[in-house]
Amino acid sequence: MNDNEKIVLVTGARGQLGHDIVKELTNHNIKYIATDSDDLDITDEKIVKDFFKNHSISHVIHSAAYTQVDKAEVEKELNHKINVYGTSNIVNECMKHDIPMVYFSTDYIFGGEGSEPYHVDDKANPLGEYAKSKYEGELLVKKLSKYYIVRISWVFGINGNNFIKTMLKLAETKNELNIVSDQIGSPTYTVDLSKLIIDMIQTDKYGVYHATNEGFVSWADFAREIFKRTNKNVVVHNVTTEEYNAKALRPKNSRLDKSKLVENGFSKLPTWQDALDRFLKELNN
Ligand SMILES: NC(=O)c1ccc[n+]([C@@H]2O[C@H](COP(=O)([O-])OP(=O)(O)OC[C@H]3O[C@@H](n4cnc5c(N)ncnc54)[C@H](OP(=O)(O)O)[C@@H]3O)[C@@H](O)[C@H]2O)c1
């Protein structure tokens, strides 16, 4: 199928990742329909069914999700409704119409044991409500014959809230911060990830992937690097996960092994430091 014949459905197009996916589809002149909760509420089975009946969709990039990790511990039903029931509505239509589906999952489906990077086939052990719902979503997507499950972590992009924006905001009023230093993972820049996803959907290399920017870092060191590169005078104190005491449990080891990307002919994403520099430039423009 050439690019002109594709009509890609993007769910959650107003979100951090959806926004850059749409930009990258535009750059490639690939036709798309960008939707959000206003025009395609994924939790409404009838709306989803009618949508697929009325449009000729070639691929789905499913970026819509409930993403508030701590709030999900309280809003359990809403989290489940969007991430599990909503995903199942999309999966059912992809199955009915034989449409390849991209699903974004998370490092949080792992328990965070040890210090070795997790391989794509390692056993899941999701700790919190959000993580459990994203893993349930994975299991639903795996019923399809054509899927790309892409596990990502610590996402940042121009269109939404993320750790970098939070740090820069805090730097306006604080000169000391306590940041968790025993969770190690990799940031993922939505611009870099979107390029990979558009490459991916033009292949039939289906399966489970890990995709983040290269390199591992703790949240505390990530914050230090943000302040260093933006000349902010903020002292970062290391705290443990237990001391920070967030509502949702999170894995300490969020390292993901990304070798499958290269094995299947895809390019690795640039380092997180390089991505951070480009994101800060994007923020300033
Ligand atoms: N952010 C991270 O650090 C991270 C890490 C790992 C994996 N992921 C995964 O990556 C994907 C994209 O994340 P993101 O950070 O871009 O999320 P985001 O910025 O929170 O965007 C999520 C989008 O989903 C939409 N949405 C929510 N409920 C919906 C519904 N019922 N029907 C249709 N759309 C709905 C939201 O629309 P409204 O604005 O209208 O609510 C929003 O546009 C998600 O699958 C997420 O689980 C994210």
Neighbours of 224 (CB within 10 A): 20
Instruction: Assign 5 a pLDDT band (cuts: 50, 70, 90).
Output: low
Whether residue 125 is contained in a domain is answered as yes
Mean pLDDT, all residues of the chain: 96
pLDDT tens digit string along 256-285?
999 999 999 999 999 999 999 999 999 998
Mutate to test the pocket of ligand 1, among 35, 63, 189, 209 (most ligand atoms within 8 A of CB): 63
Whether residue 239 is contained in a domain is answered as no
Ligand 1 near 41 CB (within 6 A): yes
Whether residue 238 is contained in a domain is answered as no
What domain range is 34 assigned to? 3-162+187-213+255-269
pLDDT of 1 higher than 80? no
Mutate to test the pocket of ligand 1, among 81, 155, 158, 162 (most ligand atoms within 8 A of CB): 155
Structural domain total, the chain: 1
pLDDT tens digit string along 24-72?
999 999 999 999 999 999 999 999 999 999 999 999 999 999 999 999 9
Q: Where are the alpha helices (DSSP H) in 81-162?
A: 87-97, 129-141
Whether residue 223 is contained in a domain is answered as no
Whether residue 15 is contained in a domain is answered as yes
pLDDT of 6 higher than 90? no
Note whether 192 and 154 are within 8 A (CB).
Answer: no
Cα gap 182→205, rounded to integer Å:
35
Up-side HSE of residue 79: CA atoms within 13 Å toward CB?
19
Q: Which residues contact 134 (CB under 8 A, 6 or more apart)?
A: 65, 83, 105, 106, 108, 109, 126
pLDDT of residue 189: 98
Q: Which residue's CA is the nearest one to ligand 1's atom 4?
A: 155
Nearest to 156 by CA among 279, 278, 249: 279
Instruction: Give the 3-state secondary structure of residue 238.
Output: strand
Whether residue 167 is contained in a domain is answered as no
Helix (H) or strand (E) holding 167: helix 163-170
Whether residue 94 is contained in a domain is answered as yes
Atom number in ligand 1 closest to CA 37: 33
Residues assigned a catalytic role: 130
Whether residue 199 is contained in a domain is answered as yes
CATH number of the domain enclosing 192: 3.40.50.720
